Structure 1
């Protein structure tokens, strides 16, 4: 499904004119901070901040989004109650370098309201100030505390869903591997949106065609991914660590029920789909969908965009069994499922 020619031309121009990641990530952080200040609160969602203390004493900021059910009657006036079917622990994208809970506030509000679940967004420490495996260890420890019931007292561990986009999808998958390897808790469900799972995104040497097909003209370039990973690495040998690139883990058994969603015009498309297939091959319950006419990062688009609406339809089908029927032109491809 081709992208509109005018939109594609704009994508190409933006992709080729933007500065490289290593010289511009600080400026991007400033731009994200400015954008975050434009966020308008939604009265249907309560937002609270709390922290989780890491083993080294650092306090990781957590932003909690609770969907509300607001009723009005002339007798009782306004009545506000929490309307939550579980808890989503969310790890934001941004190449382990950019993004934070402020920048993702609108997306997490939309997520909480659409999925009728409380969302806990994790402000893990970012590279290059804090390199691998710091982000993964922060996310693991927050998850461990959430499962232990020490972060939020009313959490049902059976209804915790790990969710991440891009680098956050990498972190969600890594937390699940860590949980299996360390045995402290057992995640039941994870959702990975256009996740980074492999360790080579060079245009000429990558195993995946999507790096070459989508690696220059669709905002996130293959060189961007290489740069982000180099900023995240502590030492070159980290590229061989499954907690850096979970697709290289030889044994993907005993993993949560998993939903992988990829974007048609994303350089990370193929590795996400192969990761879903690997999970299924190793015995996990995995589903995978490719959203058509979509580029990397679209979760941050306004919720009126069809690709955002379609993504939440897929997620609600996965989490709640809602009907997933397409009408007219296909909006997504089901690549791997359990039906």
Structure 2
């Protein structure tokens, strides 16, 4: 048996049976929150901020690799299907990211569906990005280059914020890091992407869960054709940030994320696309000592230090 098959068996064993997300999303939130409690004294510096909008104060937690605050800022949007997850459940991910990239990581606690449906969470993310660039929030160095990052639904939000920033013309996103992002609207058997059928039943994230999350996120069925909901549907992908797309071999979102990268390239953007072998959706939340995570950080740091 090859190492790939051994890893595949282990990944399947780590996955759990599909659940009815639409009826159990509150329970799923509780489980996620309960399994991300932080008891040890941190080896990094963190503090809280808020960005005020007309109707909501958006919490933002910042992580610095040390007590100094003169590092560049990376704005991060967490995953969780737009329905679960928060800055606490991504505490370790953001702390590790700050340490390993030497950036201040600003984690946005955007509002979740179904209580707050599309585009409310997206608008929260855009509002924080705008505050960083226009009002100079969190920036302690003279740099003015905005870097966005997100995983899964957070990658979707990062891509949508980049599109929205170009369309509104209020600020420019310099770089975006999209970790196994959702970019399309159909994850049924009629999907044009083979990875939905190949990886949509046996692993942690199933095609059914993706579909359930999207139903909870959408305000109406018309949202499915909105490029801010499904960036792959955008007619115009010109003038987008330098982009790094990381996908996982055993992820139903793999093919749509890679296709988004190819379309960005075709539109004339600088894009790097990497598929991580023997990885499944969500692997970036594992320890940085895991080989797939270690390799991903190598790619991220090369991208951050790359061409301007």
Q: Establish whether TM, by shorter chain, passes 0.5.
A: yes
Deviations 1:199-223 (A, max 9, x none): 1011x10010000000001110001
TM-superposed CA distance for 1:21, in Å, is 1.0
- What is aligned with 2:240? 255
Pair 208,48 (structure 1): closer, same or farther in 2 beyond 3 Å: same
- What is aligned with 1:237? 222
- Structure 2 length as normaliser, TM-score? 0.94
TM-superposed CA distance for 1:6, in Å, is 4.2
Distance in 2 between residues matched to 1:302 and 1:83, nearest whole Å: 26
Pair 195,250 (structure 1): closer, same or farther in 2 beyond 3 Å: same
Pair 8,316 (structure 1): closer, same or farther in 2 beyond 3 Å: closer
Distance in 1 between residues matched to 2:252 and 2:258, nearest whole Å: 12
After alignment, is 264-273 or 155-164 more displaced?
155-164
- What is aligned with 1:270? 255
- What is aligned with 1:52? 51
Pair 252,9 (structure 1): closer, same or farther in 2 beyond 3 Å: closer
Pair 155,145 (structure 1): closer, same or farther in 2 beyond 3 Å: farther
Match of 1:185 among 171, 174, 197: 171
TM-superposed CA distance for 1:236, in Å, is 0.7
Q: Does 1:162 align with 2:148?
A: yes
Note if contact 1:65-1:118 (Cα within 8 Å) is conserved in structure 2. yes
- What is aligned with 1:327? none
Note if contact 2:261-2:272 (Cα within 8 Å) is conserved in structure 1. yes
**Unaligned 5+ runs, structure 2:** none
- What is aligned with 1:312? 297
Secondary structure in structure 1 of the residue aligned to 2:65: strand
**Unaligned 5+ runs, structure 1:** 69-79, 322-337
Pair 225,157 (structure 1): closer, same or farther in 2 beyond 3 Å: farther
TM-superposed CA distance for 1:148, in Å, is 1.2
Deviations 1:256-287 (A, max 9, x none): 00000000000000000000000000011011
TM-superposed CA distance for 1:34, in Å, is 1.3
Distance in 2 between residues matched to 1:173 and 1:98, nearest whole Å: 19
Secondary structure in structure 2 of the residue aligned to 1:163: strand
The higher radius of gyration belongs to 1
- What is aligned with 2:19? 19
